[in-house]
Structure 1
Amino acid sequence: MVTSLNNGQTASNGANGHSAASEFVKPSTKLRQLLAQPGCVPAPGVYDGISARLALEAGFPCLYQSGAATTASRLGLPDLGFAGLTDFVVNGSMIASIDPTVPLIADADTGFGGANAIAQTIKRYDRAGIAGLHIEDQIQTKRCGHLAGKVLVPVETFETRIRAAAAARREVPGGSDIVIIARTDALQSFGLEESIKRLIAARDRGADVGFLEGIDSREDIEHTVKSIAPMPLLINLIPNGTTPHYSLEEVAGMGVKLAIYPFVTCIPALHAMRDSLALLRKTGKDDTQSKGMQPRQFFDVMGLQHEMAVDRAVGGDAFVVDA
């Protein structure tokens, strides 16, 4: 089953864990293929197995591991640099493995340290099956890009981070084409032209995609797209954040190649769980909140049918009686 998207692309339905494909393409290579196609690639933010399964079920061609949502879900903390390399890699590896035919882009904060640490980040993300990652120019004690008070490293340090990432990619045994996304948070403190200069510097040091955080007008987006070409631009669409919440069709028309939606699953999940818990607290029951979904139906979304088929295909007897 395939689902058509606004930009004319198609994506496999990963509800049972694996998309049908005649030939496996490495996730990073698949991401590069998507970026080479017309239109803008939508990547919904996911942070755990349930959100990833649902995004795959919806038929999106690419997923995004939100750093803020990963920090919140794994640590119960705000996006202030608490999560480390292992937190991101373990979570990313799990998400990427659910359907390896659908590329996953993952937040990598500042690269988790100096040049040597960034090299390890690239190698571990690549081994985890992550297709692309973004590295930013904030100081190590970073914060969410839509919060005030961000402090940036000098552009020379940012360039070193990107150079380290590009060099590490060349050193991966067997080769790697993991997509390096350079993110700058300079707009808030230094303005558009300094932000563009930083993205151009990153492009010239080996970055594949530019990410200007907090961009807030159509004119600035279009100007950035032209200024950093041929490197494509990623836009971060957060409801009620700094960037206006344009539609996918609108940003595609501005020349944007990749749109991420970091909070599309975690904030709605927060509201739904809060309401469900409040009703349980009030009534002492949780039956209506399930909307009639039985345990078997929940497990079907998590890939039960695929796992049953695996067992039966090799002559196993775990599911002689249907689960």
Structure 2
Amino acid sequence: MTTYGDTLRDRLARDELLVCPGVHDPLTAAVADHVGFDVIYMTGYGTSLSKIGYPDGGFITMPEMIENAGNIQERIDVPLIADADNGYGNATNVIRTVREYIKAGVGGIHIEDQTFPKRCGHTKGRQVIPREEAVGKIAAAADVRDERDEGFVIIARTDARGTGGGSLDEGIERVNAFLDAGADVAFVEGPTDEAELERVGRAVEGPLVYNFVGDLGTSPYVDLDDLESWGFDIVLFPIVSTLSTIANVHADLSVFADDPVESMRRVDEAFSGTPVGSLHEFSGFPEVLEWESAYLPESDREKYEGSIGDELDG
């Protein structure tokens, strides 16, 4: 059976830049899937903020992240790359973490070399574990992949560039060691300018991720053609849906506070202008009706007679 990991590997093999919008829940993932992308990314920052209301400071737990990833992957038809933070412990904890993400059915994950508690890769105060320990965690992840799902993609991330006294050299050396330990893709977090990105592209001996954070972070805005020419294979836009959600909900509720009825009218009109159809169609009610028709007794369909609401071919 082909897994989402197999599909992700196939798309990586196309030798073209994979643009991955970040989503934080199944709803934003469904929107991204409707728009149409080859791969979608689950943001750790957005997951933490939307699911538990805390920033990306090591507050969310492994089961919460895996539950969200599994629900997102179930809702979309393309591979999901999920944030797995620092694996939630040492190398033995990483074994369970990777097993659980594989059980969730996602296409791949990235694991970083931060200490616990970890924090967003674009905030001050990050620390990394010793290189030898980090390599051991990636080796453990790769062994689980080989045992449970060879298609599953392991992306190994280092935050060494952004730590106190950290250097790009250390980051490059770490990800090359991670690739030697069995990682499929390398991820140097936090290059500060285009020159550093070019250097990463030249010096890293394997497929590469760029984390396009924008003004919230330290990494620069760059042209996607340039990224591809420098040797990058995947570009993540981790918080695009989270920032969009906050900005648009804030704007709508600001109007709502002054005039709830007019605000509701505007939101209805804006939604009607999208190509997703009605909310009921977008959320999947037509499929529910198909299930009812296929599996429930004919008498159960009598509930539709004379009832009030959207027909949805009921």
The equivalent residue for 2:103 is: 127
The equivalent residue for 2:308 is: none
The equivalent residue for 2:174 is: 198
Q: Which of 180, 188, 191 is matched with 1:215 structurally? A: 191
Output one character per residue of 1:74-129: Cα deviation in whole Å (capped at 9) or x when no partner. 10001001111101110000000113x40000001110011221001111100101
Paired with 1:135 and 1:213, the residues of 2 have a C-alpha distance of: 12
Question: Does the 8 A contact of 1:225 with 1:232 survive in 2?
Answer: no
Output one character per residue of 1:275-321: Cα deviation in whole Å (capped at 9) or x when no partner. 22222222233323414246971122223333334444568647785
Question: Does the 8 A contact of 1:218 with 1:254 survive in 2?
Answer: no
Deviation at 1:239, TM superposition (A): 1.9
5 Å matches for 1:90-129? Answer: 90-99=67-76, 101-129=77-105
The equivalent residue for 1:187 is: 161
Residue 246 (str. 1) matches residue 222 (str. 2): yes
The equivalent residue for 2:248 is: 272
Paired with 1:148 and 1:281, the residues of 2 have a C-alpha distance of: 36
Residue 178 (str. 1) matches residue 159 (str. 2): no
Question: Does the 8 A contact of 1:96 with 1:129 survive in 2?
Answer: yes
Paired with 1:250 and 1:288, the residues of 2 have a C-alpha distance of: 43
Q: Which of 278, 289, 292 is matched with 1:297 structurally? A: 278
Paired with 1:246 and 1:319, the residues of 2 have a C-alpha distance of: 54
Paired with 2:85 and 2:230, the residues of 1 have a C-alpha distance of: 26
The equivalent residue for 2:208 is: 233
Question: Does the 8 A contact of 1:311 with 1:319 survive in 2?
Answer: no
The equivalent residue for 1:35 is: 12
Q: Which amino acid aligns with 1:239?
A: G
Larger RCO (CA under 8 A, 6+ residues apart): 1
Residue 88 (str. 1) matches residue 69 (str. 2): no
Tell me the percent identity: 32
Query: Counterpart of 1:287 in 2: which secondary structure?
Result: helix
Deviation at 1:181, TM superposition (A): 0.6
Question: Does the 8 A contact of 1:64 with 1:260 survive in 2?
Answer: yes
Q: How many residues matched?
A: 296
5 Å matches for 1:275-290? Answer: 275-285=251-261, 286-290=263-267
Query: Counterpart of 1:140 in 2: which secondary structure?
Result: coil
Output one character per residue of 1:140-168: Cα deviation in whole Å (capped at 9) or x when no partner. 11110010111111111111110111122
Output one character per residue of 1:24-47: Cα deviation in whole Å (capped at 9) or x when no partner. 731001111111112110111011
The equivalent residue for 2:29 is: 52
Deviation at 1:176, TM superposition (A): 3.3
5 Å matches for 1:57-68? Answer: 57-68=34-45
Instruction: Answer with 1 or 2: which has the greater Rg.
Output: 2
Paired with 1:213 and 1:126, the residues of 2 have a C-alpha distance of: 24
Structure-2 change in CA distance of 1:155 and 1:275 (3 Å): same
- The runs of 5 or more residues in structure 2 that have no matched partner are 306-310
Question: Does the 8 A contact of 2:194 with 2:222 survive in 1?
Answer: no
Output one character per residue of 1:11-30: Cα deviation in whole Å (capped at 9) or x when no partner. xxxxxxxxxxxxx7310011
Paired with 1:120 and 1:300, the residues of 2 have a C-alpha distance of: 38
Residue 157 (str. 1) matches residue 138 (str. 2): no
Paired with 2:173 and 2:236, the residues of 1 have a C-alpha distance of: 23
Output one character per residue of 1:185-209: Cα deviation in whole Å (capped at 9) or x when no partner. 1112321111100001101111110
Structure-2 change in CA distance of 1:319 and 1:165 (3 Å): farther
Moved more, 290-299 or 144-153: 290-299
- The runs of 5 or more residues in structure 1 that have no matched partner are 1-23
Query: Counterpart of 1:215 in 2: which secondary structure?
Result: coil
When normalised by structure 1's length, the TM-score is 0.86
Query: Counterpart of 2:22 in 1: which secondary structure?
Result: strand
Query: Counterpart of 2:21 in 1: which secondary structure?
Result: strand
Which structure: greater helix fraction?
2
When normalised by structure 2's length, the TM-score is 0.88
